[in-house]
Amino acid sequence: MTTTQRPQRTPDEIRRRHAENLGHQVAAGVFNPKQLLTSLPDALRKFNPRHQLRNPVMFVVWVGSLLVTVFAIGEPNGFTVGVAVWLWFTVLFANLAEAVAEGRGKAQAESLRRTKKESVARRLTENGGEELVPGTELRLGDLVVVEAGEVVPGDGDVVEGIATVDESAITGESAPVIRESGGDRSAVTGGTTVLSDRIVVKITTKPGESFVDRMIALVEGAERQKTPNEIALTILLSTLTVIFLLAVVALQPFAIYSGGEQSVIVLTALLVCLIPTTIGALLSAIGIAGMDRLVQRNVLAKSGRAVEAAGDIDTLLLDKTGTITWGNRRATGFTPVDGTDAETLVDAVRLSSLADGTPEGRSIVELCAERYGRSVEATDHEKTGEFVPFTAQTRMSGIDLDGRRIRKGAASGFTVSDEAQRIVDEISAQGGTPLVVAENGHVLGVIRLSDVVKPGMKERFAQLRAMGIRTVMVTGDNPLTAKAIAAEAGVDDVLAEAKPEDKMALIRKEQEGGKLVAMTGDGTNDAPALAQSDVGVAMNTGTSAAKEAGNMVDLDSDPTKLIEIVEIGKQLLITRGALTTFSVANDLAKYFAILPAMFAAIYPQLGLLNIMGLATPRSAVLSAVVFNALIIVVLIPLALRGVRYKPSSAAALLRRNLLVYGLGGIVTPFAGIWLIDLLVRLIPGIG
């Protein structure tokens, strides 16, 4: 049975639809300064020491803030109070970065909650009857009946019937879709609405564990766990913090020996400015924002690990049909034979296809209109003829008009000349599908149908190649057809006549070579390969088995989204690396601000290092602390939006990272601390 699918869209059209229609997601994707104010209550709640313990770097800052506050209460003065206040601001801004990221997720979750509808389910009993039960009481394996106008009470698979379903509450897509039993488009989501007919759904999830429930938990960050890379970076930052803590503790004996004992306030300020507070404050927000960017594109990632893995992908497995090509064969040309005039052939081709309602038939009429200026509608005179619609049995279509018997169909249904047979064979060898057009039994010409490659795919594959990613087209076509499509699309390799076990073998072969593999799928037969791949993107229209096996689900069911997912994963890794580079680099300016100020009285020669011309030792220390806090707020939008990603090699990315964020991390603090010092020196007792 043929199923109606959503109209295929290009990646640009998908982005435009998200930008125009999904209001709550767009709002979450754009940083608004008002979010700082709305997230402030959550940031204040994060001052709880148990929460601070999760981030070793910021916990040290929290302890230092508490210690300096005690001294500020005992001996209040402008310098001590100023350092204490700005240390607390450092902790507050770190909390704020995380709270803003979580707040965006909560806004999305609230929108998703509004899509959930409490429903009454018509559960089938063992004797074939029906009983009304609340949707919350449904259990795994229950069979429920859903008819036109009713809400699907829970996630499941259609086991009987066929119906159109409105999924706009979940996907944002207004066009209804077909769901039917016995195919790869049998899965339905709780909260969607049946628009026509009657279906029987087998429930596949427990109450509270539905697709929407899991999505809400994930976008809120409730189930977000640290990824391996994030854990490794946390360990590195913790190690650096311990090293600098020991260095500061060891510094005091040397200072005492030199006759320049330092106060606890100055030592604490030095420690906070030395440790990587910037990246420590933004680390959690970067991870949450990465998941958020996927949700904006209607992709549910079941874990942050999958998002990171997408950024390290080496090999992409892409289905040909619906991913690289449109999936429906389209007319691309007409070839007359045996002396037939081109205009005569076009007229016959159009007439033979007016009653053909298949995608191929419509594409023939459209090509006649676009290339030859013919009408797509039958004239009043043509309507007097007897149309012969296409059927699977006859595999022909046509019209009987004014004594003309025009037919169009496969070459095997006609007696063709040597010239026509040669053209038929040539089209077949090139991966196309030939259709013969005849009038009263005489062959006029041949129509070429091609599985058209989507526009822009060759350029996107070139970008992936520049990123070091190898693309493999997977198709059930014969090797000759597959090779022709692969060459046109620009993929690196092709797996023809592919069976499920062939996909598994290819994935394992790549992984044994130390490579990470990503693929898309929607059928039960794709489930093993989705589970085996490092990034498995299941289509929301697919079976429950496929969605359970994958570690991501695309609500739009657009296989080309996998390319965007890879870009988002790389953007996450690049953002984390860029801000880590900036955080480590900007410590250099703080050294030039604080260390000369600490020991200039003992060693006047250190005054040469005061290249910023800071007014006094106290103003230098306080300016560095203020900058250390403010830079976190400045970088929050970048952490949430992500560093702009351009497809390029790892070496080029590293050079760009070092040039922009390494050099920028050195230069920016020098200018920032100098400007802050101009204001700080005006405070009595400091300047």
> Binding site: which residues?
356, 360, 390-397, 408, 522, 526
What's the distance, CA 198 to chain centroid? 34
- Neighbour count for residue 264 (Cβ, 10 Å): 14
- Identify whether the C-beta of residue 625 lies closer than 8 Å to the C-beta of residue 269: yes
Q: State the Cα–Cα distance between residues 255 and 274, nearest whole angstrom.
A: 18
Q: State the Cα–Cα distance between residues 664 and 422, nearest whole angstrom.
A: 66
Q: Please name the residue that has the structure tokens 């994930």.
A: 218
Q: In b/e form, how buried is each residue of 363-398, taking b as 16+ CB within 10 angstroms? A: bbbebbeeeeebeeebeeebeebebbebeeeeebbb
Burial of 607 (0-12, 13-18, 19+ CB in 10 A): exposed
What's the distance, CA 269 to chain centroid? 40
- Identify whether the C-beta of residue 302 lies closer than 8 Å to the C-beta of residue 296: no
What tokens does 535 get? Answer: 């990034």
Nearest to 637 by CA among 147, 237, 93: 93
Q: State the Cα–Cα distance between residues 670 and 625, nearest whole angstrom.
A: 13
* Radius of gyration from C-alpha coordinates of the chain: 33
Pick out the residues of the known binding site for Mg(2+).
522, 526
What tokens does 316 get? Answer: 């992409």
Nearest to 518 by CA among 460, 569, 475, 556: 569
Q: State the Cα–Cα distance between residues 304 and 218, nearest whole angstrom.
A: 10
- Identify whether the C-beta of residue 519 lies closer than 8 Å to the C-beta of residue 507: yes
Nearest to 146 by CA among 186, 183, 201, 187: 201
According to DSSP H, which parts of 430-524 are helical?
457-466, 479-489, 500-512
- The single-letter code of the amino acid at 307 is V
**All residues at 6 or more sequence positions from 508 whose CB lies less than 8 Å from its CB, including other chains:** 532
Rounded to the nearest 5 degrees, what angle is found at the Cα of 336, between the Cα atoms of 335 and 339?
A: 150
402 counts as catalytic: no
- The single-letter code of the amino acid at 424 is V
The dihedral region occupied by 440, where left means phi > 0, alpha psi between -120 and 50, and beta the remainder, is left
Rounded to the nearest 5 degrees, what angle is found at the Cα of 355, between the Cα atoms of 354 and 359?
A: 85
DSSP element (H, E) containing 160: strand 156-166
**All residues at 6 or more sequence positions from 158 whose CB lies less than 8 Å from its CB, including other chains:** 179, 180, 181, 186, 187, 188, 199, 200, 201, 202
**All residues at 6 or more sequence positions from 545 whose CB lies less than 8 Å from its CB, including other chains:** 524, 527
DSSP state of 182: T
- The single-letter code of the amino acid at 664 is G
Q: Which of these is catalytic: 319, 451, 477, 534?
A: 319
Packed helices 277-296 and 211-219: angle between N→C axes, nearest 10 degrees: 150
Pick out the residues of the known binding site for ATP.
356, 360, 390-397, 408
3-state SS assignment for residue 319: strand
Nearest to 271 by CA among 90, 94, 98: 90
Rounded to the nearest 5 degrees, what angle is found at the Cα of 493, between the Cα atoms of 490 and 499?
A: 125
- Identify whether the C-beta of residue 201 lies closer than 8 Å to the C-beta of residue 170: no
What tokens does 592 get? Answer: 């030039």
Q: Name the residues annotated as catalytic.
A: 319
